Amino acid sequence: MIKTVSTTPYSDQKPGTSGLRKKVPVFQQENYAENFIQSIFDSLEDFAGQTLVIGGDGRYYNREVIQIAIKMAAANGFGQVLVGRGGILSTPAASNVIRKHKAFGGIILSASHNPGGPTEDFGIKYNIGNGGPAPEKITDAIFARSKVIDTYKIADAADINIDIEGTHTIEGTKITVIDPVADYAELMEELFDFAAIRAMFAGGFRVVFDAMSAVTGPYAKEILENRLGAPKGSVLNFMPLPDFGGHHPDPNLVHARALYEAMMADDAPDFGAASDGDGDRNLIIGRGIFVTPSDSLAMLAANAHLAPGYSKGLSGIARSMPTSGAADRVAEKLGIGMYETPTGWKFFGNLLDADKVTICGEESAGTGSNHVREKDGLWAVLLWLNVLAVRKESVLDIVREHWAAYGRNYYSRHDYEEVDSAAANGLIADLRARLADLPGKTFGGLTVEKADDFAYHDPIDKSVSEHQGIRILFAGGSRIVFRLSGTGTSGATLRVYIERFEPDAARHDIETQTALADLIAIADEIADIKGRTGRDAPSVIT
């Protein structure tokens, strides 16, 4: 039986950078998840009889919402639902399943790198038929609908056993529980030279991958250990846990500190990597060298042709605006297009669909390609391994050679988390008001060349996205960007992105914060960060 349930709207269901993210107790309010899921369905057209993919990163509350989403999809007339076994699908794997099975779209339950647990974060995101996050036109429609919704539809059915692969029927809708790893592993085998990587491992190359008790564990175990022959134990923390073992599943130098320390030791493995809660981010560390995500994008773009899936070269590269300009010089050298988009993977979808770009990346540890329409943590790891297997050099050597050839972009992001929202909004508003006055002004010896509020004009669908970050560009190529996070769930998070270009190879060995010290001081001077946030220092430096 299909039930039509009366409900009252919530006013706060506005999707952010990547879906709707709230604390679990917010999602546990009466009909909160149901309202949002129905608002998604109400914003879509012509999906009757089509396929919907459902999966999540296994965090707390995942299993409950999976059952709700299945029953609502059945009641709303989808013909088929594909759900990952155990409710598990990493974000890139979900994107792949949507594409491969020609689904209408997918619902991904994740708050990505945010912590999980009864009082931590949960999230729901809708992806369209190309496998990518819904564009703003759709997320705006979902939010508008959520503010007026008064009923939702749900099948009055028993829970599906999602822990065993198989097929069920609810109200005429076929529900299939699928292996979450198989399709994804097959795709990786098509893109990369598994034989070369296997030979490298067999030759004693040591890899360590920290799955951070999050969704990538089963994928990394299957691919790195089972298919590529890395020794058992190479994948750490491989069991997805609802609370990620109490840790913050964000693969950066703060939350993956132990991996970083291990990789800096004299007897460190050759290659260290980690991924986030939903498997779309990556951390790359060679023995004795952390590769910044912006550098990793540039280096992968410069070397991608060494992997079979990219042997024909790249059509273009895209990066989010705050990401460093390192990739720009690779695009220039390759003579291919370079696109600068706002933060968030949803802005890459059109460029990838139109084949304007092959590889995309963000400074927040996200890299990916046209193989799916999400960033992909394990993909980045495998591309690095493929490059290493072909070049037979260390990560450190590859990084040094790249800097010598292209110059080095010293880069760091300073986050001020959970600051007062009014203070953070005021800081940005004031900067915005002063933009016209900044060019020509000198701070600590650096002259502002240009200052603007980044707006993106999508070259494919011509949509315009404004207020995507305040950019202050200095003569000589240094840059400071200020923006507020769209993924946090309490207060505001101010992100300050600091970058300096250094062409001289003799000056490529400076510690990053030291190399950026003058710009860090200028950022505070221009925006009065300390005064406005009441913070002496950032909460996270990456």
CA–CA gap between residue 230 and residue 207 (Å, rounded): 7
Give the nearer residue to ligand VG1 in terms of CB position, either 113 or 255. Answer: 113
Q: What is the signed CA dihedral for 392, 365, 502, 258, rounded to 10 degrees?
A: -70
Gap between the Cα atoms of 101 and 147, Å rounded: 33
Q: Which helix (H) or strand (E) holds 191?
A: helix 182-191
Count residues near ligand VG1 (CB under 6 A): 18
Stretch that binds ligand VG1, among 192-200, 257-265, 275-283, 460-468 (CB under 6 A): 275-283
Q: What residue 485 binds from Co ion, ligand VG1, none (CB within 5 to 8 A, per partner kind)?
A: ligand VG1
Q: Give the containing element (helix H, strand E) for 301.
A: helix 293-303
Distance of closest approach, residue 314 Cβ to ligand VG1, in angstroms: 21
Q: Are 350 and 461 in contact (CB under 8 A)?
A: yes
Q: How many CB atoms lie within 10 A of CB 44?
A: 18
For the chain, state the CA radius of gyration.
23
Give least dist CB 309 to Co ion, A: 22
Q: How many residues does the chain have?
A: 542
**458 belongs to the binding site for Co ion (CB under 5 A):** no
Q: Which positions from 273 to 292 touch Co ion by CB under 5 A, shown as an x/- string?
A: ---x-x-xx-----------
Nearest Cα to Cα of residue 270 among 447, 394, 94, 421: 394
Stretch that binds ligand VG1, among 26-34, 385-393, 479-487, 522-530 (CB under 6 A): 479-487
Q: How far is the CB of 55 from Co ion (least distance, A)?
A: 14
- Catalytic, out of 43, 95, 112, 275: 112
Q: Is 292 in the site for ligand VG1 (CB under 6 A)?
A: no
343 binds, among Co ion, ligand VG1, none (CB under 5 to 8 A by kind): ligand VG1
Cα atoms in the Cβ-side hemisphere of radius 13 Å centred on 158: 4
User: Interface residues for ligand VG1 in 338-397 (CB under 6 A)?
Assistant: 343-345, 362, 364, 366
With CB under 5 to 8 Å by kind, the binding choice for 38 among Co ion, ligand VG1, none is none
Q: Does 18 bind ligand VG1 (CB under 6 A)?
A: yes
Q: Give the residue with the Cβ less far from Co ion, 280 or 362.
A: 280
Query: 256, 282 in Cβ contact below 8 A?
Result: no
38 sits near Co ion (criterion: CB under 5 A): no
Query: What is the rounded CA–CA span in Å between residue 402 and residue 408?
Result: 8
Q: How far apart are CA 505 and CA 187, in angstroms?
A: 38
**CA 328 centroid distance within chain:** 20
Which residues, at least 6 apart from 305, have a Cβ–Cβ distance to it below 8 Å? 311, 312, 313, 314
Instruction: Check binding of 276 to ligand VG1 (CB under 6 A).
Output: yes
Q: Is 113 in the site for ligand VG1 (CB under 6 A)?
A: yes
**Binding to ligand VG1 by residue 252, rule CB under 6 A?**
no
Q: Which of 79, 245, 486, 491 binds ligand VG1 (CB under 6 A)?
A: 486
As a whole number of angstroms, the distance between CA 428 and CA 121 comes to 26
Q: Is 112 a catalytic residue?
A: yes
Pick the piece of the chain touching Co ion (CB under 5 A) from 145-153, 268-276, 303-311, 525-533: 268-276
Q: Tell me how far apart the alpha carbons of residues 482 and 32 are, in angstroms, rounded to a whole number.
A: 33
Residue 283 or 387 having the CB closest to ligand VG1: 283
Do strands 316-320 and 282-286 pair parallel, antiparallel, or not at all (unpaired)?
A: unpaired
User: Which residues 488-507 are close enough to bind ligand VG1 by CB under 6 A?
Assistant: 495
Positions annotated as catalytic residues are: 112
Binding site for ligand VG1 (CB under 6 A): 17-18, 112-113, 276, 280-281, 320, 343-345, 362, 364, 366, 485-487, 495
